[in-house]
A = this chain, B = another copy of it.
Amino acid sequence: MLKKKAVVLVSGGLDSSVVLGWARSLGFEVVALTLRYGQRHAIEIESAKKVCRSQGVTDHRIVNVDLALFGGSALTDRVVDVPKGTSPGSSGAIPPTYVPARNTIFLSLALSLAESIGAKDIFIGVSSVDYSGYPDCRPEFILAFQQVAKLGTRAADTDDSYEIHAPLVHLTKKETILKGISLGVDFSSTWTCYDPLENGNPCGACESCQLRAKGFEEAGLPDPLLG
Please tell me if the beta carbons of A115 and B72 are within 8 angstroms of each other in the complex: yes
Any B CB within 8 A of the CB of A225: no
Q: Which of A26-44 contact B (CB under 8 A)?
A: none
Is A102 in contact with B94, judged by CB distance below 8 angstroms? no
Indicate if the CB atoms of A100 and B72 lie closer than 8 Å: no
Does more than half of chain A's interface fall in helix, strand or loop, or is it mixed?
A: helix
Give the segment of A46-54, A104-112, A212-220 that binds chain B. A104-112
How many copies of the polypeptide does the oligomer hold? Answer: 2
Q: Tell yes or no: A181 within 8 A of B by CB.
A: no
Contact residues, A122-152 vs B (CB, 8 A): 135-136, 138, 140-141, 144-145, 147-152
Nearest Cβ on chain B to A71's Cβ, whole angstroms: 6
Residue A87, interface by CB 8 Å: no
Do the beta carbons of A156 and B138 come within 8 Å of each other? Answer: yes
Query: Which A positions have Cβ atoms within 8 angstroms of B?
Result: 61, 63-67, 69-73, 92, 94, 98-105, 107-109, 111-113, 115-117, 135-136, 138, 140-141, 144-145, 147-157
